[in-house]
């Protein structure tokens, strides 16, 4: 009996250790992860991007270049090489009703003063933009530079140079639908009105990104200064992550994929790393 209890104790300790190690691995400081197992003939990779960053802060590690080189297909949120998709994207940027008619005089005046003060551009020159497009422009101006880099565009250039296939996890229409459900007009206006707060939290995000701290990035994604709310978290993270995690297994069965998606989609219980792990895949960080 004594030996039996000792054996059970050892098994329990091992199980606890395995559980802790697995949790530590998903919490490891890395924005590049390998997915293997469950019958995959080759591993695939998940890279967390930041959609825009100042050129001096842009880093492309050798581990990332190696993983990209080993993969057969680049898969991003959208396929920026599809002319039809790009036409659809441009259409989502152009409003059917000008902002001068869509917004109340008070709202227009507030946004106009913010744009003039923070960007030097009057709102009337952007009257034909949607609020989402205007918001994207304002966010870009929170960066302390004019030389802005994009990881997505860099990976696209790599893919073209290496003659890799390029795919996507969603269409422009799907993404636009998610945005419309996640953000009300009022929330977008408030986000732009809180320019300095957003600038502060965006700086925190860039610092966390440079150290590959996924836990911190996950926390920042839920910061109200970042425009986070229950609705935005639901549609921009939970629903999309679940949809992507359903698609990715079939893609990975067909070929080795390099998934490049916003880093906020990786961490947490609803993140794609945990969702794939829950399906039985081995998900581990690539640290060097």
**Tokens for 62?**
């050798």
Quick one: tokens of 214? 């996924």
> What is the pLDDT, as a whole number, of residue 25?
52
pTM as predicted:
0.87
Each domain of the chain, given as residue ranges in start order, spans 30-93+145-181+208-285
SS3 assignment, position 163: coil
Quote the pLDDT of residue 226: 62
Q: Please give the pLDDT value at position 21.
A: 38
Which residue, chain included where needed, has tokens 């990881």?
151
Contact partners, residue 120, CB within 8 Å, separation at least 6: none
Residue 23 pLDDT: 40
Cβ-proximal residues to 48 (8 Å cutoff; 6+ apart), any chain: 31, 32, 214, 217, 261, 262, 263, 264, 265, 266
pLDDT of residue 74: 98
DSSP for residue 120: S
pLDDT, tens digit only, all 288 positions of the chain: 445 444 434 433 443 333 333 444 556 789 999 999 999 999 999 999 998 999 999 999 999 999 999 999 999 999 999 999 999 999 999 999 999 999 999 999 999 999 999 999 999 999 999 999 999 999 889 999 989 999 999 999 999 999 999 999 999 999 999 999 998 898 899 889 888 988 998 899 999 999 999 889 888 877 776 666 888 889 988 999 999 999 999 999 999 999 999 999 999 999 999 999 999 999 999 998
- How high is the pLDDT of residue 228? 67
Q: Which two tokens stand for residue 33?
A: 């992860």
């Amino acid at each position: 009996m004594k030996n039996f209890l000792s054996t059970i104790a050892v098994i329990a300790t091992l199980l606890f250790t395995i559980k802790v190690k697995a949790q530590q691995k998903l919490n490891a400081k890395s924005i590049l992860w390998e997915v293997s197992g469950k019958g995959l003939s080759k591993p695939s990779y998940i890279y967390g991007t930041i959609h825009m960053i100042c050129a001096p802060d842009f880093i492309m590690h050798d581990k990332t270049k190696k993983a990209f080189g080993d993969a057969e297909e680049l898969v991003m949120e959208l396929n920026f090489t599809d002319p039809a998709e790009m036409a659809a994207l441009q259409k989502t940027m152009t409003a059917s009703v000008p902002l001068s008619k869509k917004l109340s005089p008070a709202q227009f005046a507030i946004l106009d003063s913010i744009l003039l003060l923070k960007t030097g551009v009057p709102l009337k020159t952007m009257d034909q933009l949607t609020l989402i497009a205007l918001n994207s422009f304002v966010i870009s101006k929170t960066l302390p530079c004019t030389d802005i880099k994009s990881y997505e565009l860099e990976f696209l250039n790599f893919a073209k140079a290496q003659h890799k296939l390029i795919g996507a996890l969603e269409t422009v229409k799907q993404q636009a639908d998610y945005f419309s459900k996640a953000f009300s007009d009022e929330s977008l206006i408030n986000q732009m009105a809180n320019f300095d707060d957003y600038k502060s939290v965006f700086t925190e995000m860039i610092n966390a990104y440079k150290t590959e701290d996924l836990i911190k990035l996950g926390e920042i994604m839920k910061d109200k200064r970042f425009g986070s709310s229950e609705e935005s978290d639901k549609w921009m993270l939970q629903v999309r992550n679940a949809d992507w995690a359903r698609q990715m297994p079939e893609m990975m069965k067909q070929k080795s994929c390099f998934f490049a998606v916003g880093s906020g989609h990786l961490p947490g219980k609803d993140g794609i790393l945990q969702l794939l792990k829950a399906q039985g895949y081995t998900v581990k960080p690539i640290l060097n």
